[in-house]
Amino acid sequence: MRHRLILCITFIIAALFLYTALPVYSQSAPGNVQPTNPPAAQSISAAPEPNTSNDNECYTGGTMAGKCDNGFHADGSATGAEVEWAWKCGWYMARFNDGTLTREQVPDECGILLPGIPVVPRLIPTSLAPTAIVPTATPATFCGVFFGGGYTICLTGIFITQDAGNDGSFEESWYIIADNVAGDGGLCPAGTTYSGSEVGNYTLSEANFYNFLVTKGFKDTDDFCSLP
């Protein structure tokens, strides 16, 4: 009898060990499954309370509250993929903001939500920049790595610069000019050239770059106007 009791206790302990070693998933929003113990966070002794901003920035009180299920476009609409991306990144941002994860541990697809990296963008020649679109104060700069990791792109207000090869040299730059007409380009300021592209062109070809722009307030029909 004593021998059977010892075997039973040993079996229970082994089962509990295997259970705690398995990945656990929680669903913070319909259709959006998020890991609660990815490798980077397995050492956390106290998990955040579910359904709070400590667990996901999309919840009330979080930095992304009210923005994860709608508001990706000017008319307030959102696709299923955009909502799934927001909730996934909200999970990681909650842990970045409380110091559990580092910048390097946040997935690249969520990098656009990280605090901007200070950079000094190329100066805009005043002869090419109409007074109406030159900000009176320097806005924050946001940077990310896109297009398969081959380009660093930084956005300061409506001014965007591109570093091919990520070597610190920003070779090309554009204005992103508000336009409500698809494929127009007629609103590009004097001294710039319509590149033939607008924000919506990147919906499928580079979704991360597209999300980067729409989360900063741009819409599909806004135009890229090249600086010389």
What is the per-residue pLDDT across 62-81, written as a single tens digit (0 to 9) for each? 888 888 887 556 566 678 88
Global pTM? 0.42
What's the whole-number mean pLDDT along residues 32-42? 45
Residue 109's pLDDT is 82
- Give 67 or 12, the one with higher predicted confidence: 67
Place of tokens 């927001």: 86
User: Helices marked H in 25-121 — which ranges?
Assistant: 80-97
Buried b (16+ CB within 10 A) or exposed e, 100-130: ebeeeebeebbbbbbeeeeeebeeeeeeebe
Residue 6's pLDDT is 58
Q: What percent of the chain has pLDDT over 90?
A: 8
What is the per-residue pLDDT across 109-136, written as a single tens digit (0 to 9) for each? 887 787 765 444 444 444 444 444 444 4
